[in-house]
Amino acid sequence: MRYTDPDLKYCPKCDEEYRAEIENCVSCNVELMSGQERLAMEEAAKTKKYSRSMEITSDDEMANIRKGSLHDMKQLRNLLAAANIPSILAGDSDSCGKGCCGGGDLYLQIRVTDGEDAMRVLADDFKVKTALDSHDLSIADAVFDTGVASSTCPACGCSFSTSSSACPDCGLCF
C-alpha cells in the first residue's frame, strides 16, 4: 500500500489519487474518499489484521477454499499467513491427509469468519501473478452480438463492424 496524503482524495475502486477539489473518479465514476477516511480504513484493517488469532481451535467453523497439490496449497497457506490469516491443509478421501502419498489432493481450510479477508488476499495475488492488475478490465464483459451494427472486442477494446468475424485490431475470432 502506498503513502496516503490526508489532504488528497482517493478512488475506493481503482486507488487513484486526486486533488482535494475533485469529487468523482474519472475512470470508475464513483465518489472519491478523503485521505482522512482512507487513513481511518487502513488503520481499521491493520488493527483487524494484527488482532486476529493465528491459532485454530476445534471450536472454529472451517471452510474449504481451495483444493490442489501439496506444493500449491503450501504456497497459498504461506500467502495467507503473511496476511495474518491462519489456515490448515486437510486431505481428501483418497489421500493419507499429509500430501506425501501422491494420491489425492489437499484442501486449504480457513475459519469461516476469515473468509472475506482470505478471498481478497487470494484474488489480489491472482491479479498480480496474471498481470490483471495492470490491465483495463472494463471491456472484459463485452459480448459479440451479430444483431447490432458494431461491437467491442473484449480482448483489446477495439470497436468494429459485426459484419467481420474477427477483431481487426488483435485478430480475436468470433
Which pLDDT does position 107 carry in this prediction?
Answer: 94
Residue 57 lies in a domain: no
Q: Are residues 13 and 67 in the same domain?
A: no
pTM: 0.58
pLDDT of 30 above 60: yes
Total structural domains within the chain: 3
Verify that 67 and 129 share a domain, yes or no. Answer: yes
Tell me, yes or no, whether 159 and 121 share the same domain.
no
Q: Does residue 72 sit in the same domain as residue 99?
A: yes
State which residues form the domain around 124.
62-133
Give the Cα separation of 56 and 33 in Å (integer). Answer: 36
Contact (Cβ atoms closer than 8 angstroms) between residue 5 and residue 35:
yes
SS3 content of the chain, % helix, strand, coil (to 5): 30, 20, 50
Structure confidence by residue, pLDDT tens digits, 65-78 = 999 999 999 999 99
**Residue 146 domain-assigned?**
yes
Q: Tell me, yes or no, whether 37 and 77 share the same domain.
A: no
pLDDT of residue 133 exceeding 70, the answer is no
Asked if residue 149 and residue 118 are part of one domain, the reply reads no
Report if residue 56 sits inside a domain: no
Joined together, the cell numbers standing for residue 101 give 502419498
Q: Which CATH number do you get for residue 100?
A: 3.30.70.1530
pLDDT (tens digit per residue) in 93-125: 665 555 555 556 899 999 999 999 999 999 989
- Same domain, residue pair 46 and 66: no
Which three-class secondary structure string do you get for 12-30?
Answer: CCCCCEECCCCCECCCCCC
